[in-house]
Amino acid sequence: MRRWIAAGVAASAMAAALAAPAMAEAKPANPVDALKKQFVAGHGVKISEKTRTWIGREEYVGAVREGRIGFDAKGVAAVENTRTPVMTPALRKDLEKVGKTNEDTADAVDMLTERLYMIGSGNKLYVNGGLFSTLLPDDKTWVSVSGVPPYSAVAGDQLIDVFEPATLKTLLATAKRKGDQYRGTITFADLYKVSPMFRNQTLMKPKGKLSKVVVSWRITLDSNKLVKRVASSWTMPVTKKLSMSVSSETRYTDWGTDVAITAPDPSEVVDFKALTKKNYRPPTVDHNIVIVPPDDEGKVDQ
């Protein structure tokens, strides 16, 4: 009897020894595989982001984002986040002054200075705040835009979308690596080719000097080969004499956390097209006023 027990123990030990390498192999071999394993319905990740912007040497309007990303088997299924503009009191005062004295740019100033709440779910983007807050009927709190992917709710500041396996693979393939940190560069033209989110942001294919704008990026992984931080920066011309520079840092935490994101109640939503038919006039964006920071007298250097 003891021999049978001893044999059983020995067999179990051998099975465990043989299984150990297999279990080790089950761990994602690379960041792209690790990302794909996170694509489970009901699971997701939390994000926090800081963006700074400069026009020439003057710091301009930045932003802070906080939100959650929900996945399904294909990737990003839903997003909710809050985007809060960040600026100095002096800059806010100058922008508000411009908005009051120039009706053509008032709407654009609202978009720059007001907090936005966004939800992306299905093929709709829901927005509360900013310019839309002044246009909504009294019984509505959200504007919906149809035909846009859910990740549009978090797009706009950070140009590097690490939730796209093909994009992540392309970046890492040409990167310099030091431990868990990767760094590299990619042009607007190449990013447009590989990234659906970037194409959705830009709407038009970058051409000429714009296509050659270089995005410098740095990606840091955690112990599970999942992205925990992305930092990117880029500079593009605004006028012949001025350029705009943007620096974004995004952190990703609680991978695999339970995430349930629901669209707003339909009774609280008005469709963007219905809203624009009634009272919306597209904002006139005068780059000499809105993008270039005014001086103390409200004037803009050319």
Predicted structure pTM score: 0.79
pLDDT in tens, 5-48: 344 434 444 444 444 444 444 567 799 999 999 999 999 999 99
| Within-domain flag for 20 | no
Is 46 in a helix, a strand, or coil? strand
- By the 8 A CB rule, do 189 and 211 touch? yes
| Within-domain flag for 290 | no
| Within-domain flag for 123 | yes
| Within-domain flag for 23 | no
| Within-domain flag for 292 | no
pLDDT in tens, 127-142: 998 777 777 888 999 9
| Within-domain flag for 9 | no
Domain range enclosing 118: 30-279
Closest by CA position to 112, among listed 293, 260, 264, 239: 293
Number of domains in the chain: 1
| Within-domain flag for 165 | yes
- By the 8 A CB rule, do 150 and 78 touch? yes
| Within-domain flag for 297 | no
Q: Characterize the bridge pairing of strands 269-271 and 142-146.
A: parallel
State the pLDDT at residue 107.
65
